[in-house]
Amino acid sequence: MKTPKNIPDSNHVLRYCKPRTVKGGRIAESAFEFRPGEEFLSVNWAEYFGADITVNAQVEKVREDMSKSFKLSANGRFAKVFAA
């Protein structure tokens, strides 16, 4: 997935949250903490795969794309983030 210069405020990003950051079905704020030396969080642009498909289809496309280079856990979750 290529990185856009700007994601429109009306669009959404998805962040993969590892199982250790999921507590009782809820995503803990630790899933959004920077690691030492990081300047940005890694996210995936949901509308990259099409704004005219369902959210579930967008998540599936992101999951497929990520699984090519990253091991996803069955107990991990995606957080959908949008502009306030």
pLDDT digits (tens, 9 = 90+) for 59-68: 899 999 998 9
Q: How confident is the model at residue 50 (pLDDT cuts 50, 70, 90)?
A: confident
Predicted pLDDT at 36 = 92
d(CA 32, CA 15): 9
Specify the long-range contacts of residues 38-45, CB closer than 8 Å, at least 24 apart. 41/15, 42/15, 42/16, 43/13, 43/14, 43/15, 43/81, 44/1, 44/13, 44/14, 44/15, 44/16, 45/1, 45/4, 45/7, 45/11, 45/12, 45/13
Residue predicted with more confidence, 9 or 2: 9
